[in-house]
Amino acid sequence: MNASEKPEGQGYDRVYGSFDSPLNQKLRQEAYGKDIGQHSWVTVEELEEDIPPLRLSGTSHFLDLGCGPGGPLAYIAERAGCRGSGMDISGEAITSAKARAASSGLDGRLTLRKADSNEPIPYESGSFDGVISLDVVLHLRDRRAVFSEVARVLIPGGRFLFTDAGVITGSVSDDEVRLRAVHGYTQFCPPGFNERMLELAQLRLIDRVDRTAGLLKNATGRLAARRAHQAELQKIEGDASFGRQQEYLETVIELSRRGAVSRMMYLAETGLPDSSH
């Protein structure tokens, strides 16, 4: 995830450095119901809904933009039987993702590289049948540029699925913005903004789904799991860091409950070649 203003993804390097520890695996199991190595708000049930619209087959190749430790990337590649590539600004995330690919027997089908999603995507035009980006775009600086790069690396008719957990749908205080953006640079947007940026990037919107209820469930689960293991986490994180993470989750829950900030899923596709010429 590209959520930190610090160089080289250091903000998330601290998170991903111990991502696969027994304690963190236990926390994910308790928070999400099933641990597939995900970070943020992604669940297995959600991924199962997302795979068919991506139209991936055994010959497909897809990109996970901001793949983090590679859980959803590996899950989709295994379920669809296709190849996958992942890129993330955090070196620790890529290390974790490579280990996950190897332990899952997918290292021959997954390619992982350290790269900043704020920069041009380091792949040739038309390299991918699909692109996903899960809970990453709110941490990027120029959404139109990112979407244009996605359109470039997709084949004609290729699909782009992303989630944005920072769509403002109510009133939010400055204090809530500060607490919600604890992980670093965060760009909130109004309804319709992502749609306009997709259009400017020449990507056609196919579907849009409100997934705030799922985020609320996950945030509540994560908060409860962290409370249940408070003593262990405080030893690792320190009291101040533990408290900041709890405040962050409490803020996410409150904003979601009152409909002030929503998490949306968007599905778009590139245009097909003009057959009239």
> Please, what's the largest Cα pairwise distance for the chain?
68
Distance, CA of 226 to CA of 23 (rounded, Å): 10
Asked, for residue 276, whether it belongs to a domain, the answer is: no
Asked, for residue 78, whether it belongs to a domain, the answer is: yes
Distance, CA of 263 to CA of 11 (rounded, Å): 22
Return the ∠ at Cα 185 (arms to 169 and 208), rounded to 5°. 35
Q: How many domains does the chain have?
A: 1
Asked, for residue 112, whether it belongs to a domain, the answer is: yes
Distance, CA of 173 to CA of 152 (rounded, Å): 38
Torsion sign (Cα): 87, 89, 90, 95: positive
| Backbone φ, ψ for residue 123 (5° rounding) | -140, 155
pTM value is 0.92
Query: Taking the CA atoms of the chain, what radius of gyration do you get in angstroms?
Result: 18
Distance, CA of 134 to CA of 68 (rounded, Å): 10
Asked, for residue 1, whether it belongs to a domain, the answer is: no
Asked, for residue 35, whether it belongs to a domain, the answer is: yes
Give the pLDDT score at 184.
87
The rounded Cα 252 to chain-centroid distance in angstroms is 16
- Residue by residue, pLDDT tens for the chain (277 residues) are 333 334 434 557 777 878 889 999 999 999 998 889 888 899 999 999 999 999 999 999 999 999 999 999 999 999 999 999 999 999 999 999 999 999 999 989 999 999 999 999 999 999 999 999 999 999 999 999 999 999 999 999 999 999 999 999 999 999 999 999 988 899 999 999 999 999 999 999 999 999 999 999 999 999 999 999 999 999 999 999 999 999 999 999 999 999 999 999 999 999 876 544 4
The SS3 assignment for 151 reads helix
Distance, CA of 80 to CA of 61 (rounded, Å): 10
Give the pLDDT score at 201.
97
How far from 94 is each of 91, 100, 228, 255, CA to CA, in Å? 5, 10, 29, 31
Give the pLDDT score at 7.
43
Q: Which residues form the domain of 34?
A: 7-270
Asked, for residue 202, whether it belongs to a domain, the answer is: yes
* Type of residue found at 144: R
Distance, CA of 126 to CA of 130 (rounded, Å): 10
The SS3 assignment for 204 reads strand
Asked, for residue 174, whether it belongs to a domain, the answer is: yes
> CATH no. for residue 41?
3.40.50.150
Asked, for residue 2, whether it belongs to a domain, the answer is: no
Give the pLDDT score at 10.
52
